[in-house]
């Protein structure tokens, strides 16, 4: 009885396959042949089925070593080479993916903005890269900080969105009732200290502000502006403190400003709806000093009555 079979020029012991079969491990037998002989699963399964049916020797018929009279006879199974069509299909798919990525970067992201998005990606990945030891250190630091000090900082330096008090001021003067909490918001807004704010000399134009917003939100805001036939306008911009970056690409300018969407017929529409907001920071980086990028607002500024002379 032949002890070996030749599959794709690789010798495989029949006894090894039979042991798999005896142990009811047919799947592992198929995988064993597949990996050892580098052939497909279908071909491997056929070989295992032939061994189970006792027909594997039907594939014998030739002495693999005819020059040796007493050489061991071996079963030979000829496996056809894998079709090259699969390789062609894979190459076509790869080319399609590369072309799609190129068009996406060109038309949606914009090549000039790629450094910024790489920066954002690094920062996002970095935010999840702390080990458990880092978490324990941070937790220890937080526990050592005086809770009164935290409250004091939060109360004396709140960062809040600007509030339009005009409608409530009018109702208060008339003696009308106002919603609960409005009076508190009104007093809180009046107590904000804007004396240290400095109007920026370098700030984005309306077009640059809209480009930064569209670049950040992409299709969400593009669809919103198209649906309402609106455009973005920016109000008074105030210098904001530069912030440290994690990728070695420092900020060279940062401003805080209100923005609003405007429609030729309906006028001021505010932020229309989420995700668009009415206040942002606009930032320039050293690697791309001529482009403004969007960021969350970092300081409180007064409500821009000039930009929003017509209420939303």
Rounded to whole angstroms, the Cα distance separating 30 from 47 reads 8
Residue 199 burial (CB < 10 Å; 0-12/13-18/19+)?
A: exposed
Q: Is the pLDDT of residue 265 over 90?
A: no
Amino acid 106: pLDDT:
60
Q: Is the pLDDT of residue 205 over 60?
A: yes
Question: Shortest CA distance to 261 belongs to which of 248, 270, 253?
Answer: 270
Amino acid 292: pLDDT:
96
Is the pTM value of this prediction over 0.75? no
Rounded to whole angstroms, the Cα distance separating 283 from 304 reads 20
Beta 230-239 vs 288-295: how paired, if at all? unpaired
pLDDT per position as a tens digit, 21-61 = 888 888 888 888 888 888 887 888 888 888 888 777 765 43
Amino acid 174: pLDDT:
77
pLDDT per position as a tens digit, 80-116 = 455 566 777 888 898 888 888 777 766 655 554 555 5
**Could you tell me the two tokens for 15?**
């006894």
- Angstrom CA distances, 143 to 137, 138, 156, 210, stand at 10, 9, 21, 43
């Amino acid at each position: 009885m032949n002890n070996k079979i030749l599959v794709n020029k690789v010798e495989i012991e029949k006894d090894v396959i039979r042991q798999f079969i005896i142990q009811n491990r047919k799947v592992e037998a198929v995988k064993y042949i597949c990996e050892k002989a580098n052939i497909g699963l279908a071909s491997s399964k056929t070989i295992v089925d032939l061994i189970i049916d006792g027909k594997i020797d039907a594939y014998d018929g030739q002495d693999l070593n005819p020059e040796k009279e007493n050489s061991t006879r071996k079963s030979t199974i000829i496996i056809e080479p894998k079709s090259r069509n699969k390789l062609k299909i894979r190459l076509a798919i790869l080319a399609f993916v590369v072309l799609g990525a190129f068009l996406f970067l060109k038309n949606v992201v914009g090549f000039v903005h790629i450094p910024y998005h790489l920066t954002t990606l690094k920062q996002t990945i970095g935010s999840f890269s702390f080990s458990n030891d880092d978490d324990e250190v941070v937790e220890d630091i937080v526990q050592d900080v005086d809770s009164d000090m935290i409250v004091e900082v939060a109360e004396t330096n709140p960062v809040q969105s600007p509030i339009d008090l005009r409608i409530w001021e009018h109702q208060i003067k008339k003696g009308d009732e106002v919603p609960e909490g409005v009076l508190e918001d009104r007093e809180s807004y009046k107590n904000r200290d804007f004396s240290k704010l400095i109007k920026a000399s370098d700030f984005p134009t309306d077009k640059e502000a809209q480009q930064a917003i569209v670049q950040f939100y992409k299709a969400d805001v593009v669809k919103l502006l198209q649906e309402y036939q609106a455009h973005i306008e920016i109000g008074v911009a105030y210098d904001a403190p530069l912030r440290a970056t994690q990728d070695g690409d420092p900020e060279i300018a940062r401003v805080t400003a209100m923005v609003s969407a405007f429609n030729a017929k309906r006028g001021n529409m505010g932020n229309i709806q989420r995700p668009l907001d009415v206040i942002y920071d606009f930032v320039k980086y050293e690697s791309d000093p001529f482009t403004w990028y969007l960021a969350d607002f970092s300081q409180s500024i007064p409500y821009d009555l000039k930009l929003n002379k017509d209420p939303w």
